[in-house]
Amino acid sequence: MNLIKKLKNLITHRCVKKRIKEAVGLSGADGRKRLVLLVGGKPRVFTKKQLQALIQKRYFVKGTTIQDLEKIALFTTHNRCDNVS
């Protein structure tokens, strides 16, 4: 039983690391803020715009806000301003 839990944790950890790399790459390419969330037990990458649309469609529990999702996110990319003069 303990071995099964360790194996599941290892697989989940690898999937999370893969999604974090994906989020960083996509964020660097287009400059949008990305969040890695566990949805249905699987890590997924979302933009803030996608999350706003899902909240409007009641995908999450009623009363959920972007700030709530940012708090529970596994990883959040940050927008960087490279045009500093």
CB contact set of 35 (below 8 Å; sequence gap of 6+): 23, 45, 46, 47, 48, 51, 69, 70, 73, 75, 76, 77
- What tens digit of pLDDT does each residue of 12-35 get? 999 999 999 999 999 888 888 999
- For residue 48, give both structure tokens: 């803030």
Handedness of CA 80, 76, 31, 50 (dihedral sign): negative
How confident is residue 80, by pLDDT bands cut at 50, 70 and 90? low
In contact, 30 and 47? CB cutoff 8 Å: no
pTM reported for the whole predicted model: 0.80
How confident is residue 83, by pLDDT bands cut at 50, 70 and 90? very low
